[in-house]
Amino acid sequence: MTEKENGGIFRKRVKPENFSESERIWMSVKEMGDLLGIRKTDRYWLVHKNVFETSTIRGKMWVNIESFEKWYANQVKYRKVTGEEPGLELKEWSLSPRDIALLLEIPEYRAYELIKEKGWETVTVDFWTRVRRDSFEKWYQSQIHYRTAEDRENDQALEDASLTFPQAAAILGLPRQQLYLILKDKRYSHFFEFVEVAGRRRVTKASFGRFLNGQDRYCVAEKKTPETTEKPAVLSESPAATMDEFKTKEEWFSAKEAPGTFLTIEEAALQSGISPQAISRYAMRGHFGECRKIGGKVRIPGEHFQEWMKKRQEGEMAHGFD
């Protein structure tokens, strides 16, 4: 150590290397180079770029440790031999084209095209272009075409638990415009809950099921094909219900008005041995209680029909048409 006289007072000057590791604020250029695993020429080239704070003490160049760590956290070109990841701060506020490609699951060349097309705010770090994260996220929230893997997973869960408006209209066998009127109708609007998936509004399956079970005017429509007639379906109450979990129309009415069931005109005719035309006339005259029209077909309450059959068999009801 050397001593320097200043106004008659002697002050000791301590070499930077004499501090403990916890007290040190400087390291030599050699230490810095060894930490990055670079040669002597590269060490001094990096120092003269002024990317971190340096100081000359008694003719020797020293590197400020705090400023070095700040620089290291905001670059990705150099990596410490200790394996510590570089650019941690840089990655918090910016994205590379490769980062964007991985996020959106697109080719890297397409990420470069988007940088030019969308006018994102960019910075250049070690000759590489990076996009400011806030600029990218502002764009991302304003569009629905590109989705991250996380958002796609969330979207899929919401899609599984909801219906598009065309899907809901098809279940009811109605034009889409009429469905919109139902959704806005004060008599029914309280049933419905909505979610937004990729910028598009959808109705939840659970709320659509409550709508079907909570009113008598609308029900699911039957779908017919040349070979077969598909049974209509009703959504279950579960928010995670899928189309496979729908109940048939008969099950729906059975659940709503247990223990009664409903019969078609043909089924009633088969049970009674009376022609379908006669059964239809009896139904119109109210012999079977309150009948319902579902999907264009008259449905007879099974319980009332059985009572009518019993009375008829006992001779309490005339066999002809009243």
Look up residue 54 and give its two tokens: 């340096």
Q: How many CB atoms lie within 10 A of CB 260?
A: 15
Q: What CATH number should be reported for the domain holding residue 119?
A: 1.10.10
Decide if 111 is inside a domain.
yes
Shared-domain flag, residues 98 and 56: no
**What's the domain range around 171?**
162-247
Decide if 322 is inside a domain.
no
Note the pLDDT tens digit of each residue in 38-67: 999 999 899 988 999 999 888 899 999 999
pLDDT greater than 70 at residue 227: no
Shared-domain flag, residues 62 and 29: yes
Shared-domain flag, residues 77 and 139: no
pLDDT greater than 80 at residue 252: no
How many Å separate Cα 84 from the centre of its chain?
34
Q: What integer pLDDT is reported at residue 130 of this predicted model? A: 95
The CA–CA distances, whole Å, from 85 to 73, 89, 161, 244 equal 8, 11, 41, 49
Which three-class secondary structure state does DSSP give residue 274? Answer: coil
Strands in 138-278 per DSSP E: 162-163, 194-197, 200-204, 223-224, 229-230, 233-234, 247-248, 262-264
Shared-domain flag, residues 199 and 272: no
Shared-domain flag, residues 230 and 176: yes
Q: Return the DSSP state at 261.
A: -
305/267 Cα distance (integer angstroms): 11
Look over the chain and give the mean of its residue pLDDT values, rounded to a whole number.
79
Shared-domain flag, residues 236 and 170: yes
Domain count across the chain = 4
pLDDT greater than 90 at residue 113: yes
Return the closest-CA partner of residue 68 out of 85, 83, 47: 47
Q: What CATH number should be reported for the domain holding residue 292?
A: 1.10.1660.10
11/82 Cα distance (integer angstroms): 38
Shared-domain flag, residues 177 and 243: yes
| Burial bucket for residue 48 (CB in 10 Å: 0-12, 13-18, 19+) | exposed
Q: What integer pLDDT is reported at residue 276 of this predicted model? A: 81
**Per the confidence metrics, is the pTM higher than 0.95?**
no
Return the closest-CA partner of residue 279 out of 264, 296, 293, 292: 264
Of the residues 69, 86, 103, which one is the last residue of a structural domain? 86
């002697």: which residue's tokens?
Answer: 10
Interaxial angle between packed helices 108-118 and 97-104, expressed in degrees from 0 to 180 and rounded to the nearest 10: 110
Note the pLDDT tens digit of each residue in 66-77: 999 999 999 999
Confidence band for 20, pLDDT divided at 50, 70 and 90? low
The CA–CA distances, whole Å, from 67 to 63, 148, 170, 171, 313 equal 8, 35, 65, 65, 102
Shared-domain flag, residues 119 and 66: no
